Amino acid sequence: MNSSTQAPSAAPEKHRQSPTALPKDPQASGNSERVLSWGRYPRVEHRHVYKPAWNDQVLGILQAAEPDSLLPFGLGRSYGDSCLNAGRDLLDCQRLNRILAFDESTGMVRCESGVSLSDILRVFVPKGWFLPVTPGTSFVTIGGAIANDVHGKNHHCAGTFGAHVQQIALYRSDKGSMFCSPRENSEMLHATIGGLGLTGVIAWADIQLKRVDGPWIDSESIPFHSLKAFLDLSLESNAGFEYTVAWLDCFAGSNLRGVFFRGNHAANYKKDFRPKGGPILPFELPSWVLNPLSVRAFNAAYYAVHVAKKRRAILPYQPFFYPLDSIRQWNLLYGREGFLQYQCVIPENNLAAFEELLDRAARSGMASFFVVLKQFGSAPPAGMLSFPRPGLTITLDFPKRGERTLALLRSLDDIVQKSRGALYPAKDARMSPVLFETSFPNWRGFLPYKDPKMSSSLWRRVTGLP
Amino acid sequence: MKSVTPVQALDSRATPASRNKPAALRRIVVLGATSGIALEVQKQSASRRCELLLVARSPERLAALQADLPIRGAPRVLIHSADLSAIAQHPGIVEFARRELPDFDTVLLAYGSMHNQKDAERSIDVLLEELQVDFVSAASILTLFAAELERRRTGCIAAITSVAGERGRRSNYVYGSAKGGLSLFLQGLRSRLYPAGVRVITIKPGPVRTPMTDRLPNAVNFASPQQVAHDIVRCLERRSPDVLYTPGIWRYVMAAVKMVPEPIFKRLPL
């Protein structure tokens, strides 16, 4: 009988799972069920969804799988098909959600792949620690944040999420349990960051959190009326502000308008902090709800509110970083057909291409609210297939309206292609192999690190591999 | 690092009759600590600063929980690896709790097993195993803990049974009868321990999205373990009902189901 009264040591310890194969555990299996990505397009069927509750079940599932059949899945916040595996299997990591170690003196946390960023924030913000980098939603897993090498409003000073991953343990179908750090198997670490889940299943990862004074953000919002004004604001803010991002009204036509947001963690601001839950969108809205008129009205109202509002305010971190997290299932807004998100980066020396892209999206009358603009910093990519690179990145939502939407996006692709830009796989459901090649010219260098049992809908679509 | 826990804050609001009793849910013994619902209950009670003693079979899984729960706020997490379905191990479990967490105030029984009903119809071994795990072993370990709490004249015993135990259905009556038996056992135990001031809570969840139910159709529509755990923790903290249905709607659903006359019910393909 094994028993212990010892408190676990706070210092990270070596990975102790045994690398031996385990028999396939019936508890780790699941039904075939409808799994959708956040854009709710494409709608595909999966053969089987494995839902292991413990890390010790993962290797058994990997080893029993057929070649190119499996894909790790987190909270499904990728917009397109990078988290889908049509006709094949998913390995749902949501139940692998234990925090295994935390060092209070350094802020290093070790967690399993299914721990969500919102979970990390809930546990560590009260202790005075914050995520080093966070995307626009906290409902993503650590595994997903690494696999897509996500970026946030602090890309210009902190780089991507992957830059703060110190070491990981990886379950692979061919090599068992594998420890990866900058000194040991560093190439595998490099490939796993931004590796779209194709290098194996992350057993745990060590993330360096950052010290903060509290949950408050000292934020400013500034209206602007041209791309030039946005760039000036962005350059001016890079030094003094940790977080910068802009919202753009795509419907204002030639008189472009937007709101620039910037902020820092507020120091020495002591006020009671009460996080609250928000409403939930309970069902898909009919598709006519989102039409050019209603979007125009929303955008005008959003702009008016932010221009009228106090320029400077101290906000809790949630509304600043995760404005949409307060409306659960906001993706149902787009109705049954779902939507496509388009995020590209275009080099800064090619501002004309950027303007053309904006103009084309606006003239189509199909773009929606939530157009987001951000100037990436020059940090070297943390992963082999990382998306962020120096330039301007824009994110647009398009309700899926059949072939019309796809044709528009193809015409935007042409601009990205010509300007040697790139498209973000985590948002994509339809880019061509040619554009993938332009976006990630070195993708073939990734092949040796791919787990032979792993594949995804996106991977097969953009590479043509089985 | 002592701070006022929500439980302590609740003491002042307790009813006059219970004021002299210490509130439950500060030091919890969890039997079946690696089950889907238990995992969530532990997470939520850790953030409420409860001390925990976790009993389950796998030492590796217990070790992961022993790492996780203190980070989430539990001041102390003890683990004990044992096979709860083996009755011979039960005295050792109670002994361990008495020695290592002598002032435990809550015992939560959270383990169970649900086979495919068809297997239990074909195989007496499967049938007996299910009855053994879900009813016999549960009755055994609860009897031992009941004696301990009765002697101390304090504390709370809570056990997770199921709405499946309310009425025998053709698709799930083996599991249902074991859980139904456990519900009756708890009902009697509650009455026996009432004079001693020990609470007994019967927890009857509807279908919950856990590893146990993954293979069932419609698992997507089941309640989340988070929601069920939230109801359980709240019920243990407050001195509210003897029988907890979670989600709450099941109290009314089952009231209706129990009213269907047997000649009709036996014809329903449920």
Which tops the pLDDT comparison, A373 or A363?
A373
As a whole number of angstroms, the distance between CA A73 and CA A37 comes to 10
pLDDT digits (tens, 9 = 90+) for A191-236: 999 999 999 999 999 999 999 999 999 999 999 988 889 999 999 9
* CATH number among 3.40.50.920, 3.10.20.740, 3.30.465.10, 3.50.30.60, domain A99-212: 3.30.465.10
pLDDT band at residue A189 using 50, 70 and 90 as cut-offs: very high
Distances (CA, A) of B103 to A32, B28, B29, B120, B219: 46, 10, 10, 40, 39
Q: Considering chain A, what percentage of its residues have pLDDT values greater than 90?
A: 70
Residue A281 C-alpha, separation from nearest chain B C-alpha, in angstroms: 16
pLDDT at A273 > cutoff 80: no
As a whole number of angstroms, the distance between CA B144 and CA B182 comes to 15
pTM for the whole thing?
Answer: 0.90
pLDDT of residue A253: 60
Q: Is the C-alpha dihedral spanning A32, A37, A39, A42 positive or negative?
A: negative
Contact at CB, A54 and B80, closer than 8 angstroms: no
Max Cα separation, chain A? Answer: 75
Reported ipTM: 0.88
Of B79, B211, B220, the CB nearest to A33: B220
Q: Which of A164-168, A188-192, B5-9 has the lowest mean pLDDT?
A: B5-9
Give which of B180, B192, B185, B195 is closest to B254, Cα–Cα.
Answer: B180
- Looking at chain B from residue 51 to 80, which residues have their Cβ under 8 Å from any Cβ of chain A? 58-61, 63-68, 70-73, 76-80
Q: Give the containing element (helix H, strand E) for B129.
A: helix B124-131
Give the helix ranges, DSSP H, for chain B: 6-11, 36-47, 59-71, 90-100, 117-122, 124-131, 137-152, 173-193, 225-237, 249-259, 262-265
pLDDT at A95 > cutoff 60: yes
pLDDT digits (tens, 9 = 90+) for A11-68: 333 333 333 333 344 444 455 568 999 999 999 999 999 999 999 999 999 999 999 9
Catalytic residues of B, by residue number, are 175
pLDDT at B9 > cutoff 70: no
Summary mean pLDDT of chain A:
88
Contact at CB, A99 and B81, closer than 8 angstroms: no
Give which of A355, A376, A364 is closest to A419, Cα–Cα.
Answer: A355
As a whole number of angstroms, the distance between CA A462 and CA B110 comes to 47
Instruction: Give the count of beta carbons closer than 10 Å to the beta carbon of residue A226.
Output: 13
Interchain contact B92–A (C-beta under 8 A): yes
Chain B residue with Cα closest to A25? B211
pLDDT of residue B239: 73
pLDDT digits (tens, 9 = 90+) for B201-257: 999 999 999 999 988 888 778 999 999 999 999 999 887 789 999 999 999 999 999
Residue B230 C-alpha, separation from nearest chain A C-alpha, in angstroms: 15
Contact at CB, A1 and B92, closer than 8 angstroms: yes
The domain spans of chain A are 99-212, 216-433
Q: Which residues share a beta bridge with A259?
A: A223, A247
Chain B hits for A2, CB-CB cut-off 8 Å, are 59, 81
Q: Give the CATH architecture of domain A216-433.
A: 2-Layer Sandwich (3.30)
pLDDT of residue A362: 84
pLDDT at A304 > cutoff 90: no
Kindly list the structural domains of chain B, giving each domain's residue range(s) and its CATH number in brackets, ordered by start. Answer: 6-265 (3.40.50.720)
pLDDT at A278 > cutoff 80: no
Give which of B79, B77, B76, B38 is closest to B55, Cα–Cα.
Answer: B79
Interchain contact A30–B (C-beta under 8 A): yes
CB-CB contact of A124 with A99 (8 Å): no
Average of pLDDT values for B46-75? Answer: 97
Helix (H, G, I), strand (E, B) or coil at B32: coil
